[in-house]
Structure 1
Amino acid sequence: MIKLNLGVNKDVSNEEYHADREYISSSGIKKLYWDELAYEKEYILGEKEDKAPSNALQEGTAIHTKILEPHLYDQQIVVYQEFDKRGNAYKAFELQNPGKLVISLSQQMRLDGMFKAYQDRPEAVELINSSEKEFTICKEINGIKCKVRADAINIDKGMIIDIKSTGYSAELETFKANAYSKLLSYDISAALYSMVAEAEYGKPFDFYYVVISKSEYKCEIYKASEVAQINGRNKIFKALEKLAYYRANGKWPENGKKAPEKGAYIIRDL
Structure 2
Amino acid sequence: MTAAVEASAPALGLHTDLSNESYHADKTSLSSSGARKLLPPSCPAKFRWEQDNPQPPSKTFDYGNAAHKKVLGNGPELVVIEDDTWNTKDVKAAVSEARSRGAIPLKQHEMDMVDAMVDAIRRHPLAAALLDPAYGAPEQSGFWIDEASGIRCRVRFDWLPSIHEGRLIIADYKTCTDASNEAMQKDIDKYGYNQQADWYETGARALGLGDQATELLLIAQEKKPPHLVNVIGIGLGSRLLAAAKNRRAIETFAECTSTGHWPGYADHEPNYLELPGYAENRDKEIYL
Equivalent residue number for residue 151 of structure 2: 144
CA contact (8 A) 2:37 2:46 kept: yes
CA contact (8 A) 1:68 1:151 kept: yes
Equivalent residue number for residue 211 of structure 2: 203
* Alpha-carbon distance between aligned partners in 1 of 2:92 and 2:21, rounded to the nearest angstrom: 24
Aligned AA (1:237) = R
* Alpha-carbon distance between aligned partners in 2 of 1:56 and 1:254, rounded to the nearest angstrom: 27
Say which of 166, 179, 191 aligns to 2:188.
Answer: 179
| Shift in CA distance, 254/105, structure 1 to aligned 2, threshold 3 Å | closer
* Alpha-carbon distance between aligned partners in 2 of 1:110 and 1:194, rounded to the nearest angstrom: 32
Say which of 56, 61, 70 aligns to 1:57.
Answer: 61
CA contact (8 A) 1:242 1:252 kept: no
Task: Quote how far apart the aligned CAs of 1:121 are.
Answer: 0.5
* Alpha-carbon distance between aligned partners in 1 of 2:16 and 2:255, rounded to the nearest angstrom: 32
Task: Quote how far apart the aligned CAs of 1:131 are.
Answer: 2.2
Task: Quote how far apart the aligned CAs of 1:80 are.
Answer: 1.2
Q: Does 1:42 align with 2:43?
A: no
Task: Quote how far apart the aligned CAs of 1:139 are.
Answer: 1.3
CA contact (8 A) 1:118 1:125 kept: yes
- Determine what percentage of the aligned residue pairs are the same residue: 24
Equivalent residue number for residue 89 of structure 2: 88
Aligned AA (1:135) = Q
Residue 131 of structure 2 aligns to a residue in which SS? helix
Aligned AA (2:116) = G
Equivalent residue number for residue 113 of structure 1: 116
Q: 5+ residue gaps in structure 2?
A: 1-6, 267-288
* Alpha-carbon distance between aligned partners in 1 of 2:256 and 2:73, rounded to the nearest angstrom: 38
Aligned AA (2:259) = N
CA contact (8 A) 1:245 1:253 kept: no
Task: Quote how far apart the aligned CAs of 1:95 are.
Answer: 4.8
Larger radius of gyration: 2
Instruction: With the length of structure 2 as denominator, give the TM-score of the two structures.
Output: 0.78
Equivalent residue number for residue 160 of structure 2: 153
| Shift in CA distance, 81/253, structure 1 to aligned 2, threshold 3 Å | closer
* Alpha-carbon distance between aligned partners in 1 of 2:97 and 2:216, rounded to the nearest angstrom: 40
Residue 12 of structure 1 aligns to a residue in which SS? coil
* Alpha-carbon distance between aligned partners in 2 of 1:83 and 1:106, rounded to the nearest angstrom: 9
Q: CA RMSD in A?
A: 2.4
| Shift in CA distance, 229/84, structure 1 to aligned 2, threshold 3 Å | farther
* Alpha-carbon distance between aligned partners in 2 of 1:49 and 1:203, rounded to the nearest angstrom: 35
Task: Quote how far apart the aligned CAs of 1:2 are.
Answer: 7.0
Aligned AA (2:110) = Q
* Alpha-carbon distance between aligned partners in 2 of 1:240 and 1:95, rounded to the nearest angstrom: 38
Equivalent residue number for residue 222 of structure 2: 213
Please list the CA deviations of residues 92-124 of structure 1 after superposition, one character each: whole Å capped at 9, or x if unmatched.
322554412101123112212211211110321
Equivalent residue number for residue 233 of structure 2: 223
Equivalent residue number for residue 18 of structure 1: 24
* Alpha-carbon distance between aligned partners in 2 of 1:170 and 1:42, rounded to the nearest angstrom: 28
Q: Does 1:124 align with 2:133?
A: no
Aligned AA (1:32) = L
Instruction: With the length of structure 1 as denominator, give the TM-score of the two structures.
Output: 0.83
* Alpha-carbon distance between aligned partners in 2 of 1:2 and 1:78, rounded to the nearest angstrom: 32
Aligned AA (1:86) = N
- How many residue pairs were aligned? 246
Task: Quote how far apart the aligned CAs of 1:89 are.
Answer: 3.0
Please list the CA deviations of residues 46-80 of structure 1 after superposition, one character each: whole Å capped at 9, or x if unmatched.
2x1543x221210111111112226x66xx11111
Q: 5+ residue gaps in structure 1?
A: 257-270
